[in-house]
Amino acid sequence: MTVAGSYTPVFCWRGFVYLVWGNRSGRVGISHNPGLDRTFWLQRGCRQFSLLTPPLPLGTAAFLCDWLQRRLPLKGEPPLQQAAALVNRGRLKLGLPPWEAPPNTLPEPGPAPVAAELALVQKNLAGRILWREEIALALAEHKGAVNTPLEDLLQWLYLAGEVTLLPGVGYEPNGEPRCRRCGQASRLLKVTCAACGSGDCLVCEGCLAMGQARRCRPLYARPWPAQPAARGRPDLDTRPRLNFALTPAQVDAYREAESFVFQGKEKECLLWAACGAGKTEVTCGAIAAALSRGRNVLYACPRREVIRELEVRLTSVWPQLRILSLYGGSPGKFGTADLILATTHQALRFYRRFDLVILDEVDAFPLSEDPMLYYAVARARREDGQTLFLTATPPAGLVARVRRRQVKVIYLPARHHGHPLPVPEILRDPFLSRPGAKRLPRSLVNCLDLTLAEEVQLIIFVPAVKLVEEVVAWLLQERPGPDPNRPWVQGCYAAHPRRDEIIASFRREEFPVLVTTTVMERGITIPRLNVLVLYADEERIFTANTLIQIAGRAGRSPAYPSGRVWFLASRISPAMAVARRQIQEFNALARRRGYLLAGEK
């Protein structure tokens, strides 16, 4: 069996740690090609060049270079003996076996790389952090070709301070290993690596999905070049063309987001919006403000589907802009554009590029559970850049920072139709049984009857996949329906073989009741819908944020803004109470600000 791309050669960096000395001072360096480094330093007047180690994997060499740089006196005469002793101490610090002595012969200096080729590489790497193979792909994508080996060009740029050279897995100053690509230190494996030939190479399993980060694999990074203070793109029309009217709540939030970017006082801001309040439209204000000042903008989101959908929406708002979407399987990973949309995984390839990062669905899987993705998004932002978080249900850490006034907050508490958010009704049934154990609970029957009488649809959320089929069977057993071939209630979950088909059929209103798991908590809008959460006290699944998102499915459409939400459980869990209270607080805020229609309570 072969896999496309499995034979792509992976560049393995093994090189020397060396000491180079000029008239009065020196420095420590690392190189896979010491001849090239000698050329560089000879051009700068350094004459003495000594190799301190045999070829080592990049992670080890980089650690030793840093170790020596901190400890070695780099003024006066070259401290060669002291350097050799320090190298040995550094090796012991990493717990590595002894290695052979460095070669005696010095490498011959070679020709310096061509300036045009260096400029081409610099241009393609700007604002990114990439493997050597990815840089080659980026060059190919932009139809750029170089004759000098790419690693030599990159080494020259590294020596010139234009590019940062990092090991895929490197060491902290205290000798602790850490993945330099995803930033985590817990999922590193010590392995035998045939590329570098060492028996104790380190591989990161945290970011494997984006390619192997190894101790012997080099990462090259270059920040986006700084631009003059008075930036702007006079040739670029950055006005958003909204083909709909913003509601008063959206207008206020839009202006606040705009001023957050214009003023640039705060680094982080949370746009805390009610479910279905139209937060994406509000971000257009922030994006337009940033683009009009010539700033780079990234719109990141953990889900690929959202990025695809967003591309269509933002293209209609800015038909004059080049918009690039990056997600797993998207064509062209290294293009340039006025506005970049990317999944949070793709943000791993950016380095100090964006002045404004908009991070959507901060509490959604996998972003909520993966610190690596936060790290990636934070690194994609310039050091003086800004982040705008968007969500209806911010994680507790972010809320705490808002309360401590470390993060600015913009509220968007009302939906576009001006009706309040449906407040969940808590139905407590102390004798609520497992599906099929007893007859259907009276409260559940009432909810069903009410929904069917109003001729709207109902989604019943359950806390486990296996409950989906059981609840469907329970409902059908009690109420078989007129036609057994066309059941009135169906179920689906993430891995259901007919998931898309069932959801599409439900959207077409071909049956009134759908039983599902939390897979449907986001990203679904059914115009006339009630929602029931069965066993809502199952706190491991139904957290307060999940319940708020679920409740947010109801009442989204002007056709049926008063959709109802029921939480049915044998007890009232803290999450149920928090969810209800938060929805009530949002409605109260919307009412105070006058965003609700007259007469709405």
Partner 1 sequence: MLLSWLFPRGKACSWCGRPVHQGFFCTSCRQQLLDWQQHYHPCLYCGRLLPLGKQAVCNQCREELPPFQKARSVGPYQGLLKEMIWALKYQGRRSLATPLGHLLAGVVVRELGSGRPDLVIPVPLTSTRLRVRTFNQAELLALALGQELDLPVNGEVMFRVRETAPQVNLSRRSRWQNLGGAFKVTAPGKITGRHLLLVDDVLTTGATASACTRALQAAGAADVAVVTLATGIENLPCFSP
Enumerate binding residues for partner 1 (CB under 8 A).
Answer: 1-3, 6-10, 12, 187, 189, 191-195, 201, 203, 205, 208-209, 212, 214
Strand arrangement of the beta sheet that strand 164-167 belongs to:
128-131, 218-222, 164-167
Integer-rounded Cα Rg, in Å, for the chain is 29
Return the number of the residue (203 or 468) whose C-beta is nearest partner 1.
203
Q: Given the complex with partner 1, which of 1 and 145 has the nearer CB atom?
A: 1
CB of 212 to partner 1, least distance (A): 5
Write the DSSP assignment of 147-198 as a string of letters.
SS-HHHHHHHHHHTTSSEEEESEEE-TTS-EEETTT--SSSEEEE--TTT--
For partner 1, the closer of residues 168 and 422 by Cβ is 168
Pick between residue 66 and residue 539 the one whose CB is nearest to partner 1: 539
Whole-angstrom CA distances from 136 to 57, 144, 181, 335, 380 are 21, 9, 18, 13, 21
Q: Write down the least CB distance from residue 133 to partner 1, Å.
A: 11
Nearest approach, Cβ of residue 209 and partner 1 (Å): 7
How many CB atoms are located within 10 Å of the residue 305 CB? 11
How many whole angstroms separate alpha carbon 451 and alpha carbon 386? Answer: 46
H helix or E strand, kind and range, residue 39? helix 34-43
What's the closest the beta carbon of residue 228 comes to partner 1, in angstroms? 44
Check if the beta carbon of residue 16 is closer than 8 Å to that of residue 34: yes
- Please say which residue, 199 or 248, places its beta carbon nearer to partner 1: 199
- CB closer to partner 1, 7 vs 431: 7
- Shortest approach of partner 1 to residue 192 CB, angstroms? 7
Find, among 352, 350, 364, 344, the residue nearest to 549 by Cα.
364
Quote the DSSP letter at residue 274: -
Q: How far is the CB of 408 from partner 1 (least distance, A)?
A: 34
Concatenating the DSSP letter of every residue in 114-148 gives PHHHHHHHHHHHTTEEEEHHHHHHHHHHTT---SS
Element at 310 (helix H, strand E) = helix 304-317
Length of the chain (residues): 601
Closer by beta carbon to partner 1, 210 or else 380: 210
CB of 169 to partner 1, least distance (A): 13
Closest CB 296 distance from partner 1, rounded Å: 31
Kindly tell me which of 180 and 415 has the beta carbon lying closer to partner 1: 180
CA 442, 443, 445, 446 torsion: positive or negative?
positive
